[in-house]
Amino acid sequence: MLLTLLLVLLLVLLAAGGYGTVAPARPQGSRYLYSVSLAVCTVLLLLALAHLLSGREPLHLSLPLGLPWLGLHLRLDALSAFFLVVVNLGGAVASLFGLGYGAHEREPERVLPFYPAFLAGMNLVLLADDAFAFLFAWEFMSISSWALVMAHHREPANLRAGYLYLVMACFGTLALLLAFGLLAGVDGGYGFAAMRASQTPPALAALVLVLALLGAGSKAGLVPLHVWLPLAHPAAPSHVSALMSGVMTKVAVYGFIRIVFDLLGGESAVWWWGGLVLAAGGVTAVLGVLYALMQHDLKRLLAYHTVENIGIIFIGLGLALAFQANLMYFNAALALTAALFHVLNHSLFKSLLFLGAGAVLTATGERDMERLGGLIHRMPHTALAFLIGSAAISALPPLNGFVSEWMTFQAILNSPELPQWLLKFLVPAVGALLALSAALAAACFVKAFGITFLGRPRSPAAADAGETDRFSLSAMFVLAGLCLLAGVLPGLVVDGLGPVVGLLNGGARLTDQYHQPWLTLVPVGPLKSSYNGLLVMLFMAVSGVAAALLIHRFASSAVRRGPAWDCGFPDASPATQYTAGSFAQPIRRVFGSLVFQARERVTMPPPGDLRPARLEVELHDPVWERAYAPIAAAVIAVSTRANVLQYLTIRRYLSLVFGALVVLLLGMALWR
Amino acid sequence: MALIDYLVQGGQMLLVLMLAPLLTGWVRWVKARLLRRRGPSPLQPYRDLVKLSRKEVVLADSASWLFRVAPYLIFAALWVAASLVPTFAGGLPFSWTADLIAIVALLGTARFFLALAGLDVGTSFGGIGSSREMMIASLAEPAMLMMVFTLSLLAGTTELSAVARFMLTADVGLRVSLALALLALVIVAIAENARIPVDNPATHLELTMVHEAMVLEYSGRHLALIELSSSLKLVLYLSLVACIFAPWGMASAGAGSAAYGYAAVIYVAKLALGGVLLALFESSIAKMRVFRVDQFLGAALMLGLLGALLLFVSRSL
Amino acid sequence: MHSLEFDIAHFLAGGMVVLSFLLLYQDRVYALLNVFALHSLVLALAVGWQAYIQEAHHLYVTAGIALVFKAIVIPMALRRIVRRLGIHRTLEVVGGVGRDMLAGAALVALAIMVMLPVTVGADALAREDLAFALAVLLLGLLLMVNRHNAISLVIGFMSLENGLVLAAAGARGMPLAVEISVAFSVLIALIVIGVFLFRIRERFDSVDMQAMDSFRESRLK
């Protein structure tokens, strides 16, 4: 029943997509469309949440669609319900934002038809219960998001981003297709139920893991498969960027979890699987944030930062795999809960930050942080929401980002019980990487918020910005409120995740948290570790307010405005402020020479020369230059060779076909 | 939970707050004596705070609301963090509110807002301070967490009271890892408190300054709060060292008031000793170039990692 | 729970690994010498402690040799050489201390990972000593590979040798004759190296190994 209802709602979204082709011509068209998306997403969100919290048995639905011998299988279990919550929460908020933001869209006909289709595609991936439906929905999601990336296709950078995205999406789907092929086995059981029931031989299972890591990882943005992500995500309109970064990457994580934890089954895990995923996650986390620190484009910075968070999620998943392989289900439950919690958190704050960047973009027309600044005076509400998002993503208590990273740390601290030596050393190293990435993330968001919103405006556009509309603001504040709520009441979220973790972890899950005094989070045991966001926030609020009241009451509350002190040499020009580039310079010096082979060159003209001094910074992208450039060069070399084939005579072509046929037949004869 | 426990908890919070300026003054006084100066009285910071809080605030024209809110936020975060470190009594009613990782993260919250405040007015000095502070933190925080990792491997917990209890038992033994963790913690403490050789708390007009550059635009009551917060941070780190590596004389929950008083005296003595050691260290070493700091802190990070590695060895024999 | 005996042995052997690390961190010649002297001192203590708990008296001799020669004579001799060569102010050219230390941590992990599974069944003390000794040895090699200055090469070599002695002490010691001959060979190596250093300086005006490399390349062309 419920599934049918969900399916109908998805059909409504698809119909809205159809309406989107004519909507731009109507006066209120885009508003209707976003309202419908908002309503549908909200209903889907509530239904999924109800299903998740009620803890009911999985629902099934089979329809005679799709491949004739397979049909279309849908299933709603705790895992898909949780991800439905994440996707539709993001979808609803992005639609709310779109209500205001859509009015600024220059080419609505390139956005409106694909937007609801994109939402429908993501939802369908989560519901699919056979390989065909899954891959179909996956491709549908990829293509519709590709169309949205290409919405502003007249900018050459976007063209490149779209091309790269298409190539990587094809690669990812290919990997997933092969993974499903291996899972289905020789009998061709393409339904997920059959895959779950069958035992995959260990060697093949390892291959499936690697393929799933490649396929889902390329969509999620695991290093070194991340190259398309920071180009494609910012190219789309901002609410779509929020969806792609905050939500679509989570669908990719879902794909990985579904294949590895559910279809393969954690029981068949071997310890080095965990090590592999863990190492990939650790490297991704640190490289992602280092890349982000080097960016001056606000949206691209956010996109690179998504890569970091995907790394953190995969660290949790890798730990869970390693624990499951050693039959330590309690620790696995902790790691899984941490990873899933971070999935939710990242979808909240990354969507929030992208929406904030979208608001800045509409207000100023700028994405380059070097030309922004001082927006906190012009856009105070956007600034507040963005600040909350920045603090949350930097893992600062009492907000939500901290809770999931704290839980990941707790899982890491339980790792010495792992018997394998390699893991024993890998896990502390990954812990150091995680700590490093958390600290760098704080630096990154001090830069993002500080340069964009604080200081003095660096361009006329920033000086004349105005606050964004009420729809956009309410969308941002909904997310900011949820960030705070999830940070202050983490126990409730952990309890909500219980059924999902139980499903993936052979029934083992964390103990219920809601009965803890003061809603404290006690994942392992009261003697091990506990954290209470509520009390931390209360204490902070009380002591801060008390200090303010006391000082204002008994000391002085006088304020005088004056020029900045600046050690006695205030400079009127905003150009003397620290810029994004100069803010990142110490970190570039410390880490950049190792990772990016960063070189700085200062050309100082001699005295009397009127030319400006120049500081040139040279950065190399290690992943692109070591991995992709050689592949691209090889592809070009091969295709240049093969280009000869394009200019043959008909007789030659026929003889080629003939030759191929004969060779094939010969091969068959010999093979038999 | 008895009422007295709550009272002791409140007393601990107030004690930390009250002692903070005294510790700063004490360190300054000892340093002055070591340099054969007479030096201001150790009570001078209290007078400074009172004087500052009575003055009016001069705000830069380009300062935003964040600039005015930040001192209160920073103070609140640091005070909460400092009062969650067991000083003279462990196992108090709210000791489970945050474990060591959360305390480290609360310090991160304070640092985040301080760095933002440095950027808010839009001067070059503020920016220089913020960007360097974040660079230092990006290495100090992982080093700190590696230390937490070592401790947690040993004690099996990240709750500070439990760690302190564990360190008092004979199970600890003599371990290189603990020495390494102590070393890492001390290096981090020096860096985070802007002491020599990483930063010089006594300079105002030097391009090497980090902390002072960030708070350059603050005045009046805001500056008072910022100064009080940095004193609190110093107390916090010294208490942390004392609580983890020298937990002797700490009263457990439910001890009588006499025991609490005795423990409090021991705690103050520990702080005084820590202050003397800090002053000695600061007087005997020269300030580093800013871009040597990363090596200094990188060493702390590596020492922390090494400590964790060595511990793995001895545990799994 | 471990006994105090084990704890002290662990502390001393682990201390040697840490000091090897500190050798990597130093970028001044005198500081390097001081840390090396400390390294040898800790070695002497570690070997002495082993002698005490294993009741192997010939190890006391080993400890004595380490104390007298490596902790006192050799550092002092090197110090004289440095002063006579006038290179005490030369800052080392190091390819990034951070990178060195990262590599060092990886090497320690490698040493432990190789040694512990191989020695399953041996007694805990010997296993740990062997693992740490291998780590010290690898760190010494790393120091030799990553430094240009000839003095650091010598120090790297000596610390490597300290690692060997530590391993030998953990494995119930080597015969005294071998031990003494090793000690003498190290001393002779020191003398030879010292003489060579002066000769090299006379020829090249530098003890920087890069200068010699470039000279060789120009000869080969």
pLDDT digits (tens, 9 = 90+) for C73-130: 888 888 888 888 777 666 565 556 777 888 888 888 888 888 877 777 777 777 888 8
Strand-pairing partners, residue A74, are A61, A128
Start-to-end CA distance of chain B, whole Å, equals 41
H-only helix segments in A396-530: 400-413, 421-453, 460-463, 470-488, 490-504
Alpha carbon distance B80, A537 (integer Å): 9
Token pair in block for residue B117: 């405040």
The answer on A632 and A612 residing in a single domain is no
Q: Say which of B97, B115, B158 has its CB closest to residue A446.
A: B115
**Domain assignment of residue A631, yes or no:** yes
**Domain assignment of residue A155, yes or no:** no
Average pLDDT, integer, range B230-255: 88
State the pLDDT confidence band at C177, using cuts at 50, 70 and 90: low
Taking contacts as CB-CB distances below 8 angstroms, the residues of chain C near B180 are 18
Least confident residue range of A280-289, A353-362, B239-248, C52-61? C52-61
Any CB–CB contact under 8 A between C13 and chain A?
no
Alpha carbon distance C23, C141 (integer Å): 12
State the pLDDT confidence band at C1, using cuts at 50, 70 and 90: very low
pLDDT of residue C203: 66
H-only helix segments in chain B: 3-34, 44-54, 65-84, 100-120, 124-155, 160-168, 176-192, 211-214, 220-245, 257-283, 290-315
Least confident residue range of A60-74, A340-354, B111-125? A60-74
Our count of domains for chain A comes to: 2
**Domain assignment of residue A45, yes or no:** no
Q: Do C4 and B303 touch (CB under 8 A)?
A: no
Start-to-end CA distance of chain A, whole Å, equals 52
Q: Which residue has the higher pLDDT, A654 or B192?
A: B192
Q: Which residue has the higher pLDDT, A117 or C114?
A: A117
Segments forming the whole domain that contains residue A640 = 622-671
Whole-model pTM: value is 0.92
State the pLDDT confidence band at C213, using cuts at 50, 70 and 90: low
Any idea what DSSP says for residue A625? Answer: I
Q: Which residue has the higher pLDDT, C146 or B211?
A: B211
Decide: helix, strand or coil at residue B217: coil
Q: Do C96 and A425 touch (CB under 8 A)?
A: no
H or E, element range at A603: strand A599-603
Q: Do B295 and C104 touch (CB under 8 A)?
A: no
Contacts of A254 (CB under 8 A, 6+ apart): A79, A80, A83, A125, A126
The answer on A605 and A628 residing in a single domain is no
pLDDT digits (tens, 9 = 90+) for A238-248: 999 999 999 99
H or E, element range at C63: helix C58-65
ipTM of the complex: 0.95
Alpha carbon distance B158, B143 (integer Å): 16
Q: Do C109 and A594 touch (CB under 8 A)?
A: no
Q: Do A547 and B120 touch (CB under 8 A)?
A: no
Q: Is B174:C12 a contact under the CB 8 Å cutoff? A: no
**Residue A568, exposed/middle/buried by CB under 10 A (0-12, 13-18, 19+)?**
exposed
Any CB–CB contact under 8 A between C98 and chain A?
yes
Angle ∠(A199,A200,A202) on CA atoms, nearest 5: 120
pLDDT of residue B311: 81
Q: Is A337:A496 a contact under the CB 8 Å cutoff? A: no
Average pLDDT, chain A: 90
The answer on A638 and A663 residing in a single domain is yes
Alpha carbon distance A564, B58 (integer Å): 9
By C-alpha distance, the chain C residue nearest A593 is C96
**Domain assignment of residue A598, yes or no:** yes
Q: Is B71:B118 a contact under the CB 8 Å cutoff? A: no
State the pLDDT confidence band at B218, using cuts at 50, 70 and 90: very high
Q: Evaluate if residue A614 carries a pLDDT over 60.
A: yes
CA–chain centroid gap for A126, Å, is: 16
**Domain assignment of residue A507, yes or no:** no
Q: How far is C63 from chain B (nearest CA, A)?
A: 21
Alpha carbon distance B203, B222 (integer Å): 19
Average pLDDT, chain B: 88
Say what percent of chain C tops pLDDT 90: 5
Any CB–CB contact under 8 A between B180 and chain C?
yes
Q: Evaluate if residue B105 carries a pLDDT over 50.
A: yes
Q: Evaluate if residue A622 carries a pLDDT over 80.
A: yes
Nearest CA to C13 among C165, C176, C138?
C165
Residue that has been written with the tokens 């339980």 in this structure: A414
State the pLDDT confidence band at B204, using cuts at 50, 70 and 90: low
Nearest CA to A232 among A341, A318, A142, A358?
A142
Q: Is A287:A310 a contact under the CB 8 Å cutoff? A: no
Q: Which of A585-599, B113-127, C189-203 has the highest mean pLDDT?
A: B113-127
Q: How far is C3 from chain B (nearest CA, A)?
A: 8
Phi, psi torsion values for C76, nearest 5 degrees? -65, -40
Least confident residue range of A413-427, A606-620, B293-307, C119-133? C119-133
Average pLDDT, integer, range A564-586: 85
Amino acid sitting at position A297: D
**Domain assignment of residue A110, yes or no:** no
Best to test chain B binding among A539, A571, A576 (most B CBs inside 10 Å) = A539
Least confident residue range of A372-381, B19-28, B96-105, C88-97? C88-97
pLDDT digits (tens, 9 = 90+) for A464-492: 999 999 999 999 999 999 999 999 999 99
Q: Say which of B170, B171, B298 has its CB closest to residue C98.
A: B298
**Domain assignment of residue A37, yes or no:** no
* Interstrand relation of A599-603 and A614-618 (parallel, antiparallel or unpaired): antiparallel
Average pLDDT, integer, range B189-195: 91
Alpha carbon distance A164, C207 (integer Å): 53
SS (H, E, C) A221-262: CCCCCCCCHHHHHHHCCHHHHHHHHHHHHHHHHHHHHHHHHH
Alpha carbon distance A70, A91 (integer Å): 31
**Domain assignment of residue A654, yes or no:** yes
Any CB–CB contact under 8 A between B60 and chain A?
yes
Q: Evaluate if residue B47 carries a pLDDT over 90.
A: yes
pLDDT digits (tens, 9 = 90+) for A447-466: 999 999 999 999 999 999 99
Average pLDDT, integer, range A210-235: 92
Q: Is B305:B146 a contact under the CB 8 Å cutoff? A: yes
Half-sphere exposure of A604 (CA within 13 A, CB side): 4
Strand-pairing partners, residue B59, are A561
Q: Do C105 and B310 touch (CB under 8 A)?
A: no
Q: Which residue has the higher pLDDT, A15 or B257?
A: A15
Q: Do B75 and A543 touch (CB under 8 A)?
A: yes
Q: Evaluate if residue A625 carries a pLDDT over 70.
A: yes
Q: Evaluate if residue A12 carries a pLDDT over 90.
A: yes
State the pLDDT confidence band at C174, using cuts at 50, 70 and 90: low
Q: How far is C20 from chain B (nearest CA, A)?
A: 12
Least confident residue range of A306-315, B35-44, B105-114, B249-258? B249-258
